[in-house]
Structure 1
Amino acid sequence: MTAVLPERSRTRAGSAAPDLLERLALAPASRTAVVAGGRELDFGELRAEAARIAARLAARGIGPESVVALCLPRGAELVTALIGTLTAGAAYLPVDPKLPAERRRYLVEDAGADLVVTAGADDEPPAAGVAHLPVAALTAPGPELPYAPVAVSGDTLAYVIYTSGSTGRPKGVEIGRAAASALLAELEGAAIAVTEGGRVGWNASPSFDASVQQWVRLCRGDTLVMIDDETRADPALLAALIDDEALTDLDITPAHADPLLDLLSADGGPRPLTLLIGGEALTPALWSRLAGLGERGVLRTVNLYGPTECTVDATAGWVEGAGAPHIGSVLPGLRMRVLDERLNPVAEGGSGELYLAGPRVGRGYRGRPTLTAERFVADASAEADGGRMYRTGDRVRLLPGGRLAYLGRADGQVKLRGHRIELPEIEAAVAACPGVAEAAVVLREDVHGAPGLVAYYRAAAQVTQAALRERLAAELPGYMVPAAFVALDRFPVTVGGKVDRAALPAPAPADAPGPAPDPAGDVTASQALIAGVWAAVLGAARVGPDDNFFKLGGHSLLAIKLVSRVRAELGVRLPVKAVYANPRLRDLAAHLDTLVAAAASQDS
């Protein structure tokens, strides 16, 4: 299958795109707008509920430049609250309710949110002193308030999304309404969003900018299918949902795409499915595999790249043919410049830092004028768009035809399983732990070649790795908690006196303090089986019945590998959520015994 980005259909760079809500108003009222669990909303219901929310927000003084924090789980209420906030002319701030309490408080307070919307009346608000309402108070039928649409401009704030920060604290990126509208127009113009009445899976966390790529599709009349956390984590459930809901589009990271592909291609039949893949670099092996599935007509894949600061997607390239992976060419609403260290343009074949300019460049970092000035710099070649370009910090090589090859970062930022992480933020959190005198964090491959975070520390007083892990888990999102901790007597340094990260030792294989399971002793067969799988997946030398999968370095992708191996050996589907609910080996083995017994009773 060959797919191209047609020049003739592209949106002209710099041209104004219709406001998202203007387009949403044109969708047929009876068409399904949102599918979330057991609830469905058509466009008529969505618009009515959004108008009700907007009226109640306006009655509380919420309007343009106000920020409404949405501390809601993924579901229909999140969508209606988001659209209702935009309808009121305000901006939304996504706050994942699963984040540690300290992290949620920081996001709300740092953004200066005017209101927090929570799932229930009894939910504790993320920050004291900030008004909060349960979502039911905004959506419940009742006395209707008069609502007059408010005037907004293209630069009016649409959303604030926080990214990891190099200073030790996350920073909020401000994006205007015109930029979000232009993103949708460019996805259409580049033949990425093409299916009339498409069915788009909302897979990304609302706290990450990839989610914007999905909800804007709602505004062109597509159906938005919310993917719950259990389904997101389980390739078998996700593959089933793709079929059951007849998805036409699914965003996914390379790390999560790989285990899904076997299930998608199992029957070899054609699927009208487009994978929008991004968040981290594609490996040559995965590129080749995706290209092969495209040639067979199983699916089509577009590789997308873009920083949050430039409204999600900046470049796009279809995954097809042999050769090295690339991130495609710049989308029409942005202009790219590849500059060397002296800010001179590089020639074709040369490498340098990628700068992006144009109407989709964000307003800057909320409440951080100095950092904004450092990253959003003057553009001498600018057109009528404010004269700024964004320094991405990404190194690229300029390929023939304007395509780009991604080479990596020029600073301490990394991508891990689709998450953008500033290593200095984690280092600051480790260094702030009681008993720690010095800390460094690196991204390195484990024994299986999978990347993971490793924290190195020098202790000034007695400190245990368990205490460090517990402290960080209470402050940082799960994906930012290191998988391994290494205590050092001293840090290796370069001749310049800085930490020599290349000389930091590899962590030793996980070695549980307890005895390894012995099938001939007081260990059940399922415990022995789980222990063997854990040892293989985690690269652990010894695994005991009381060991915790995640404390041995397990994470979401390793949990997927774990349940896949169990399924292959026993023919029993062990849900990924069971690993999270039963992280201790003996508990997971007991749960597995229950599943095996249930399967046997059904067969008899």
Structure 2
Amino acid sequence: MTTPTHFNNINNLNDTFVAYPVEKALPFFINECAKKYPGKVAVKFNHSSFTYKELYESSNKLAKILIDNNIKTGDIVGLALDRSPEMIISLLAILKSGAAYIPLDPEYPKDRVEFMLEDSSAKILLTSKKYHSHFISNATEILIEDAFEKFTDYTAEEPTIEVKGKDLAYVLYTSGSTGKPKGVQIRHFNLVNFLLSMQKAPGMTAVDKILAVTTISFDIAGLELYLPLISGAEITLTDSNTAKDGRILFDIVKNDGITFMQATPYTWRMMLEAGWEKKLPLKILCGGEALPKDLVSKLTSRTAQLWNMYGPTETTIWSTIKHIESDEEITIGKPIANTQVYIVDENLNNLTDGSIGELIIGGDGVAAGYLNRAELSAERFIDDPFSATSGSKMYRTGDLGKYSENGDIICLGRMDHQVKVRGYRIELEEIEHALAKEPDVKQAVVIAREDTAGDPRLVGYVVLKEANENADFKTHINKWQQALLAVLPEYMVPDDFVLMDAIPITPNGKIDRKALPKPDYNVVARTGDYLAPRTEIEKQIAEVWQELMGIEKISVTDNFFELGGRSLVAVQIMARIEKLTGKRLPLATLFEHSTIEKLSIVLDADSKSITWDSLVPIKPKGSKMPIYIVHGAGLNVLLFNALAMNMDDEQPVYGLQARGLNGVDEPLDVMEDIAANYISEIIAQNPEGPYALAGYSLGGTIAYEMANQLMTMGKEVKMLAVFDTYAKQTDIFDPPVKRTFNRTRLFFMKLFNSFALLAEDPKRTFEYKNELIKRRIIRAFWKLRGKTEKQQGFFAYDNEIDEASAKAKRNYFQKPLNITVDLFRAKKRTFYMDDYEFMGWKKFALKGVNVHDIPGEHNTIFAPPNDKEFAVVLQQCLDRVSKQ
């Protein structure tokens, strides 16, 4: 097949050089504009306004006050003010003082704001009387009201300090539900290049009026506040409540002559629902997530111009732009000035043939990395192999993309939306893109579901352009499947489809994939008498269970696990209940309260009575010696439920979940401390022993240290079982030469092993390697960007705990113990180990290692049907040691 001509010229798309004064900082351009338009209104807010001259002079005076408070170039100032002209003056003043600012939305969680202040070592916190002493930090607090009262003591001329293009402008923390926020460091030249490019396209002039709706903690606010101020345009600034009301926003746009506005798809939908029908002389930018097809026709028919914007925070707001016309393919267009976008494979080969790869961005927008996160910066900000400039960096976005036929870039979404179905690796966005082209499809979302364990299925959720009650849904499905088969491999065609009135979205306007309902594969049969919900809380729980488990009627006495409940749906159920009731329950609550009736009693209790203990009673009743199983890296003790249910009726089973899952307790990062925490709860429940300990993966090492501490205390440890755990001694205490040699040797051994596995089982090896890469990218993504909403739900803090656990493992010096280890070894191997036979345990277990092979591979030993055989072998071992 002949390669299309446009693919031979892709590199021309990155010829984006445009000369600009790279040495100049942003205040230079804003000051020049203020001198050009002194009497023109710069900012309108409610019933007040500031001219360019007033903005210029006020920011100059406030900058001098900061300088008098020992602010120097390179210092960091936190800014926590409500949306107001004073907020804009403060931003400009900080930049003019030579400092960089951290935007702190006062509506954000208090502990998150305080973390940002501490992590950045902010020297000053500029805030208002409203928030006086609200945030605890080492920063010196300056109140904006007090500063304004001192303006008469200062002249209006610009500060004499010189701010350069290479100096830091701001540090913007990407908030997320896992791990702690990471501060992205943006320099002045990053910001200036972006703004000058935006000034040309999409374009802004002094006649424009922009409606600014975005919180300053979201990087796109930089366009709304600074682009007008270097162009002589007028800003209409909304307060935070107005920004959330589509009706008021539409009225402002319509009545105040707004010509320019930027927002997410969610905000545009709010305004459309407010009755927006007539065309307005409005240029609009849409970004933050994929531009839905159904919005294009609505927005293009109602506005002067629609621009689709794309770019991560790490490359300074927007990196590509596309003027969208009606009825054309939706792309993210081409790079802005002095920006390069490449689509690469895993080896950073430039994919210029239209293949799907990762979007990587280089050029003058690339940030200076993450504040105080050198290792993370090195992982995501890599050397630019395509640049002739020494030291150039490029940013790995973690987004998938490919080139369209006209050379534009199509963004296919996050790499963490990749799934595996029937052994094939699939990019869901590619299916969505194809399905959305069908003439009767208004919007489509595709996910992989595994409602039946071991049977993952692709499900398409479709909103029709026109509802037709007389249409046969099966006819629709057949037509869609045939159309998809014409452009996609068979394994990428969804098995099931669900018609939706609307695709659910999160409060910040992104698609809520977790809220997509289970298809009606068939009605699950149930046995026993049906007892209907009697109270309001029982009704709420029943509705959640029925929706997420796909069962039409659930009795309040039905057992969650007997109905086929698994950990994934348990997470969804408990998260939904939290949203409904405002109460967050530990996921392990389902072990003791596994019916609607029992769960409702817990929810009716006082929130203070809900505990997040590490010790979880999975199957607490029975006369035999209990076994205590420590979580693996995934933190989910519900994995052990199927194992417990397949063991003897008289066998008690307890799980140990990590500290910190509630988002309040600080996770532990020292192995000895983790073990001691678990031991304290075990002894409180079972003070005499004897003890049977077990751990899965990382949990095996924790269980080993627990055994060490219990034996030191004089307690009897009858059994130490490790579930597919490799005992690898840390090398941080080795001499550097030895450490380098061993790591190099291991690298090549893993490489050779990969070739051997590839020859033996190419399909599975390819899957495994792809899975490893995907996990690393997912982990990096959640570390860097995260979700914009507040952390909530279950395992929302798992990445933070994983980091702490990994640190504990790295620093743990494992000593040999006078003990026997029962090693439960997965039969299927997909990764290299120095010691396949004993998995490294022989040198640590001085009394020997008993090896028990169990079916499956590392991640599937607890999955049906492997769990049944595993349970039998484990029970036999427990019975044997208990008799000794």
Contact 1:163 1:420 in 2 (8 A): no
Cα RMSD (Å) of the superposition? 3.9
Q: Distance in 2 between matches of 1:499 and 1:356?
A: 40
Counterpart of 2:40? 31
Q: Distance in 2 between matches of 1:11 and 1:21?
A: 25
1:223 maps to a residue whose letter is: E
User: Any idea what the Cα deviations from partners look like across 1:404-423, whole Å, max 9, x if unmatched?
Assistant: 112111238999565899x9
Counterpart of 2:206? 196
Residues 477 and 138 of structure 1, relative CA distance in 2, 3 Å threshold: farther
Residues 349 and 128 of structure 1, relative CA distance in 2, 3 Å threshold: closer
Q: Distance in 2 between matches of 1:351 and 1:251?
A: 29
TM norm structure 1: 0.68
**SS of residue matched to 2:587:** strand
Whether 1:457 aligns to 2:819 is: no
Q: Distance in 1 between matches of 2:313 and 2:77?
A: 19
Counterpart of 1:594? none
Residues 37 and 229 of structure 1, relative CA distance in 2, 3 Å threshold: same
Which of residues 213, 220, 245 is equivalent to 2:223?
Answer: 213
Whether 1:185 aligns to 2:196 is: yes
Higher relative contact order (CA 8 A, sep 6+): 1
Contact 2:320 2:335 in 1 (8 A): yes
Counterpart of 1:357? 362
Q: Distance in 1 between matches of 2:315 and 2:586?
A: 33
Contact 1:280 1:417 in 2 (8 A): no
Contact 1:155 1:177 in 2 (8 A): yes
**SS of residue matched to 1:142:** helix
Whether 1:370 aligns to 2:375 is: yes
Counterpart of 2:471? none
Whether 1:86 aligns to 2:216 is: no
Residues 229 and 128 of structure 1, relative CA distance in 2, 3 Å threshold: closer
Which of residues 85, 102, 115 is equivalent to 2:111?
Answer: 102
Residues 255 and 151 of structure 1, relative CA distance in 2, 3 Å threshold: same
Q: Distance in 1 between matches of 2:326 and 2:410?
A: 15
Structure 1, unaligned runs of 5 or more: 1-6, 424-437, 447-453, 487-493, 502-604
Contact 1:165 1:171 in 2 (8 A): no
2:339 maps to a residue whose letter is: L
Q: Distance in 2 between matches of 1:129 and 1:238?
A: 39
**1:117-516 mapped onto 2 (5 Å cutoff):** 117-120=126-129, 123-140=132-149, 141-144=151-154, 148-164=159-175, 168-190=179-201, 192-217=202-227, 218-263=229-274, 265-266=276-277, 268=278, 270-293=279-302, 298-384=303-389, 386-411=391-416, 457-459=587-589, 467=607, 479-482=789-792, 496-497=858-859
**SS of residue matched to 2:416:** coil
Q: Distance in 2 between matches of 1:403 and 1:500?
A: 46
Residues 11 and 393 of structure 1, relative CA distance in 2, 3 Å threshold: closer
User: Any idea what the Cα deviations from partners look like across 1:495-550, whole Å, max 9, x if unmatched?
Assistant: 5417999xxxxxxxxxxxxxxxxxxxxxxxxxxxxxxxxxxxxxxxxxxxxxxxxx
Counterpart of 1:69? 78
Contact 2:340 2:362 in 1 (8 A): yes
**SS of residue matched to 1:55:** helix
Residues 11 and 396 of structure 1, relative CA distance in 2, 3 Å threshold: closer
User: Any idea what the Cα deviations from partners look like across 1:257-313, whole Å, max 9, x if unmatched?
Assistant: 1131254642x2x422111111111122222332343xxxx3321010100000000
Residues 229 and 319 of structure 1, relative CA distance in 2, 3 Å threshold: same
1:497 maps to a residue whose letter is: N
Q: Distance in 1 between matches of 2:199 and 2:124?
A: 34
Q: Distance in 2 between matches of 1:82 and 1:392?
A: 28
Q: Distance in 2 between matches of 1:15 and 1:230?
A: 38
**SS of residue matched to 1:457:** coil
Residues 442 and 188 of structure 1, relative CA distance in 2, 3 Å threshold: farther
User: Any idea what the Cα deviations from partners look like across 1:25-65, whole Å, max 9, x if unmatched?
Assistant: 23311000111122210011001100110110000111211
Q: Distance in 2 between matches of 1:316 and 1:126?
A: 38
Q: Distance in 2 between matches of 1:49 and 1:349?
A: 52
Q: Which moved more, 1:164-173 or 1:78-87?
A: 164-173
**SS of residue matched to 1:26:** helix
**SS of residue matched to 2:132:** coil
Residues 365 and 122 of structure 1, relative CA distance in 2, 3 Å threshold: closer
Contact 1:348 1:399 in 2 (8 A): no
Q: In the TM superposition, what is the alpha-carbon distance from 1:472 to its structure 2 partner?
A: 7.1
Q: In the TM superposition, what is the alpha-carbon distance from 1:229 to its structure 2 partner?
A: 2.0
The number of residue pairs the alignment matches comes to: 458
**SS of residue matched to 2:166:** coil
Contact 2:206 2:234 in 1 (8 A): no
Larger Rg: 2
2:31 maps to a residue whose letter is: A
2:368 maps to a residue whose letter is: R
Q: In the TM superposition, what is the alpha-carbon distance from 1:315 to its structure 2 partner?
A: 0.7
Residues 455 and 189 of structure 1, relative CA distance in 2, 3 Å threshold: farther
Q: Which runs of 4+ in 1 moved over 6 A?
A: 412-415, 438-443, 460-463, 468-478, 483-486, 498-501
**SS of residue matched to 1:154:** coil
Q: Which moved more, 1:400-409 or 1:462-471?
A: 462-471
Q: In the TM superposition, what is the alpha-carbon distance from 1:130 to its structure 2 partner?
A: 1.8
Q: Distance in 1 between matches of 2:662 and 2:44?
A: 35
Counterpart of 2:7? none
Identity of aligned residues (%): 27
Residues 177 and 500 of structure 1, relative CA distance in 2, 3 Å threshold: farther
TM norm structure 2: 0.47
**SS of residue matched to 2:382:** strand
Contact 2:127 2:143 in 1 (8 A): yes
Q: In the TM superposition, what is the alpha-carbon distance from 1:82 to its structure 2 partner?
A: 0.4
